[in-house]
């Protein structure tokens, strides 16, 4: 009885020891990956920030209206810094997932391949989002200036409508790209966008027919209106 108990204990200990011996390199691999992730992530962050500073990316973002948009949204950091941090976390997470994969746990067996498979969608969504914000600001600003120069009442309202229209369109595209509630997003977007266009068409057709006629005549008419500035 005593021998059996002793054998069982030794066998269990050996089993545990051999598992531990087998797991230790994996754990070390995880730690190594994490440290590599930290080091390479930091390197990428610093390099990227320097490159963006050299090419005056901040000035570009300022000019395109991205910086003011992010400031309004409560983001206080400079864009190169933000991009650098984003790059750091992408690199770090990439290494962290490799480390987790190296542990060879049943629960995380396909984690890396699943993440790598989804990564292009995330990158595309980020790019679409950034471009969308830039486009929204650019078109909003252009419409505002054009409406003010045409002395249209409610110029700011029109510009905001255009800006938010582009933002909504961008959000719909981002969500579709990420595959989040795809059908609902498409349906909701179609209803909202179609509704706005339909409402505007009815408003113009019923209420603003004479104004539209006047605007078109002024735009394409051969005779210059007496109301226009001719002294330039």
Partner 1 sequence: MGEAVWEQVQEQCSDVRTVDLLVALPSFNQSSTVGPVVHAIVAGLKSAFGQASILFLNADVGSQDGTPDLVRQTVGDSLPFASIRPNTDGMSGSTFALNRFSYSGMPAREEAFRSVFAVTRRLEAQACIILDPSVRSITAEWVALLAQPILEKGADYVAPVFSRQRYEGSLTNNLIAPLTRALYGKRVACQIGGGYGFSQKLSSFLLENEALWEGDAGRFAIDSWMTTVAVAEGYEVWQACLGSKVQDIKAGAADISTSLAQAVGATFHYMERYQDIWEKQVESQEVPIVGRPVEITMESVPIQVDRMLKGFRQGLRDLLPIWEVILTPDTLAGVLELGLRDDEEFRFPLPLWVQTVYDSAVAYHEKVIHREHLLKSLVPLYLGRTASVVLETKGGGPGMVQDTVEHGCHTFEVMKPYLIDRWRFQ
In b/e form, how buried is each residue of 72-83, taking b as 16+ CB within 10 angstroms? eeeeeebbbbbb
- Kindly state whether residue 216 participates in binding partner 1, applying the rule CB under 8 A: no
Task: Write each residue from 155 to 174 as x if it is in contact with partner 1 (CB under 8 A), else as -, in one continuous string.
Answer: xx------------------
Per CB under 8 A, contacts with partner 1 among 69-128 are: none
Question: What end-to-end distance do the CA atoms of the chain give, in Å?
Answer: 112
Q: Report the 10 Å Cβ neighbour count for 94.
A: 18
Q: How far apart are CA 52 and CA 85, in angstroms?
A: 13
- Kindly state whether residue 5 participates in binding partner 1, applying the rule CB under 8 A: no
- Taking the CA atoms of the chain, what radius of gyration do you get in angstroms? 30
Q: Of 5 and 220, which has the nearer Cβ to partner 1?
A: 220
Q: How far apart are CA 148 and CA 210, in angstroms?
A: 21
Only one of the segments 3-11, 25-33, 102-110, 215-223 lies at the binding site for partner 1 (rule: CB under 8 A); that segment is 215-223
- Kindly state whether residue 58 participates in binding partner 1, applying the rule CB under 8 A: no
- Kindly state whether residue 217 participates in binding partner 1, applying the rule CB under 8 A: no
Q: How far apart are CA 62 and CA 57, in angstroms?
A: 8
Helix (H) or strand (E) holding 51: helix 2-54
Structure token digits, residue 30: 């995880």
Whether 91 and 43 have beta carbons less than 8 Å apart is answered as no
Q: Report the 10 Å Cβ neighbour count for 107.
A: 8
Q: What are phi and psi of 103, to 5 degrees?
A: -65, -20
Only one of the segments 39-47, 56-64, 73-81, 87-95 lies at the binding site for partner 1 (rule: CB under 8 A); that segment is 56-64
Q: What are phi and psi of 60, to 5 degrees?
A: -60, -45
Q: Which of 151, 183, 206, 210 binds partner 1 (CB under 8 A)?
A: 151
Only one of the segments 4-12, 13-21, 82-90, 222-230 lies at the binding site for partner 1 (rule: CB under 8 A); that segment is 222-230
Only one of the segments 33-41, 124-132, 180-188, 220-228 lies at the binding site for partner 1 (rule: CB under 8 A); that segment is 220-228
Only one of the segments 62-70, 98-106, 166-174, 189-197 lies at the binding site for partner 1 (rule: CB under 8 A); that segment is 62-70
Q: Of 183 and 227, which has the nearer Cβ to partner 1?
A: 227
- Kindly state whether residue 138 participates in binding partner 1, applying the rule CB under 8 A: yes
- Kindly state whether residue 148 participates in binding partner 1, applying the rule CB under 8 A: yes
- Kindly state whether residue 232 participates in binding partner 1, applying the rule CB under 8 A: yes
Q: Which of 142, 181, 204, 212 binds partner 1 (CB under 8 A)?
A: 142
Q: How far apart are CA 154 and CA 208, in angstroms?
A: 15
> Where on the chain is the footprint of partner 1 (CB under 8 A)?
59, 62-65, 68, 138, 141-142, 144-149, 151, 155-156, 220-222, 224, 226-232
């Amino acid at each position: 009885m005593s021998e059996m108990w002793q054998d069982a204990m030794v066998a269990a200990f050996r089993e545990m020891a051999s598992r531990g011996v087998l797991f230790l390199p994996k754990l070390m691999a995880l730690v190594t990956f994490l440290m590599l992730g930290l080091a390479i992530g930091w390197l990428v962050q610093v390099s990227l920030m320097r490159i963006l500073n050299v090419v005056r990316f901040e000035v570009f973002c300022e000019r395109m209206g991205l910086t003011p948009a992010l400031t309004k949204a409560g983001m206080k950091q400079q864009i190169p810094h933000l991009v650098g941090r984003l790059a750091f976390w992408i690199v770090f997470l990439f290494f962290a997932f490799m480390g987790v994969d190296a542990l060879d746990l049943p629960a995380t067996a396909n984690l890396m391949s699943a993440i790598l498979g989804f990564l292009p969608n995330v990158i595309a969504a980020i790019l679409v989002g950034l471009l969308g914000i830039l486009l929204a600001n650019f078109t909003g600003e252009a419409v505002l200036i054009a409406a003010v120069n045409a002395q249209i009442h409610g110029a700011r309202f029109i510009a905001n409508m255009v800006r938010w229209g582009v933002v909504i369109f961008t959000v719909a595209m981002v969500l579709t790209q990420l595959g989040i509630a795809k059908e609902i997003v498409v349906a909701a977007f179609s209803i909202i966008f179609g509704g706005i266009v339909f409402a505007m068409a009815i408003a113009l057709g019923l209420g603003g027919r004479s104004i539209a006629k006047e605007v078109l005549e002024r735009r394409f008419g051969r005779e210059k209106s007496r109301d226009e500035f001719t002294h330039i």
